[in-house]
Amino acid sequence: MSTRSNAESGDTMSLANTYRPHTWEDVVEQGLTVKILRSVCSDPSLPCRNFLLTGSQGVGKTTLSKIAARSLNGGEDGEVIEVDAATNGTAEAIRELTQQAKTYPLTGNVKTIILDECHALSSAAWSALLSTIENQPARTCWFFCTTNPEKIPKTILSRVQQFQLSKISLSGIIERMKYILDKEKEKGENLTYTDDGIAFIAKLANGGLRDALTLLDKTLMYSKDISSESVTASLVMFDYDDFFKMLGAISKHDNTAIADTVDRVYNSGTNFVKWFDDFHSFVLNVAKYIVVRDIDRTMIPAHYTDKLAKYNMNHYTVCLRLANILLSLCQELRTTNYQQEVALTRLLTTPKKEVG
Q: Give per-residue pLDDT as tens, 190-241.
A: 999 999 999 999 999 999 999 999 999 999 999 999 999 999 999 867 889 9
Measure the CA–CA gap between 23 and 195, rounded to whole angstroms: 28
pLDDT at position 236 is: 67
Average pLDDT, stretch 148-173? 96
Average pLDDT, stretch 322-333? 97
pLDDT digits (tens, 9 = 90+) for 32-90: 999 999 999 999 888 889 999 999 999 999 999 999 999 999 888 889 999 999 999 89
pTM score of the predicted model? 0.87
Residues of the chain with pLDDT > 70: what percent?
A: 94
Of residues 335 and 48, the one with the higher pLDDT is: 335
pLDDT at position 46 is: 86
Maximum pairwise Cα distance, the chain: 93
135-156: b or e for each residue (b if 16 or more CB lie within 10 Å)?
ebbebbbbbbbbbebeebeeeb
Average pLDDT, stretch 107-132? 94
How buried is 74 (Cβ within 10 angstroms: 0-12 exposed, 13-18 middle, 19+ buried)? exposed
Average pLDDT, stretch 164-191? 97
Q: Do residues 117 and 147 touch, judged by C-beta distance below 8 A?
A: yes
pLDDT at position 11 is: 52
Name residue 82's beta-bridge partners. Answer: 114
16-25 long-range contacts, Cβ below 8 Å, gap at least 24?
A: 16/210, 16/213, 16/214, 16/217, 19/176, 19/180, 19/183, 19/213, 20/63, 21/60, 21/63, 21/67, 22/67, 22/70, 23/67, 23/70, 24/67, 24/71
Measure the CA–CA gap between 230 and 140, rounded to whole angstroms: 47
11-30: b or e for each residue (b if 16 or more CB lie within 10 Å)?
eebebbebbbbeebeebbbb
pLDDT at 256 over 70: yes
Name residue 193's beta-bridge partners. Answer: 226
pLDDT at position 7 is: 40
The dihedral sign for the CA sequence 311, 314, 316, 322: negative
Measure the CA–CA gap between 245 and 222, rounded to whole angstroms: 27
pLDDT at position 355 is: 40
pLDDT at position 77 is: 80
| 3-class DSSP assignment, residue 111 | strand
Residues of the chain with pLDDT > 90: what percent?
A: 86
Non-local CB neighbours of 164 within 8 Å, separated by 6+ positions: 33, 54, 55
Measure the CA–CA gap between 247 and 311, rounded to whole angstroms: 11
pLDDT at 141 over 70: yes
pLDDT at position 12 is: 67
pLDDT at 132 over 70: yes
Average pLDDT over all residues of the chain = 92
pLDDT at position 239 is: 86
**Cα-based torsion angle of the residue sequence 20, 23, 28, 34 in order, rounded to the nearest 10 degrees:** 130
pLDDT grade for 351, boundaries at 50, 70 and 90:
low
pLDDT grade for 135, boundaries at 50, 70 and 90:
confident
pLDDT at position 335 is: 96
DSSP state for residue 53 in the 8-state scheme: E
Average pLDDT, stretch 96-113? 93
pLDDT grade for 6, boundaries at 50, 70 and 90:
very low
Lowest mean pLDDT among 185-189, 236-240, 278-282, 309-313: 236-240
Average pLDDT, stretch 99-109? 91
Instruction: For the chain, list the strands marked E by DSSP.
Output: 50-54, 79-84, 111-116, 140-146, 161-164, 192-193, 225-226
Q: Which stretch of DSSP H or E encloses residue 265?
A: helix 255-267
Measure the CA–CA gap between 43 and 13, rounded to whole angstroms: 35
pLDDT grade for 356, boundaries at 50, 70 and 90:
very low
pLDDT digits (tens, 9 = 90+) for 302-317: 999 999 999 999 999 9
How buried is 294 (Cβ within 10 angstroms: 0-12 exposed, 13-18 middle, 19+ buried)? exposed
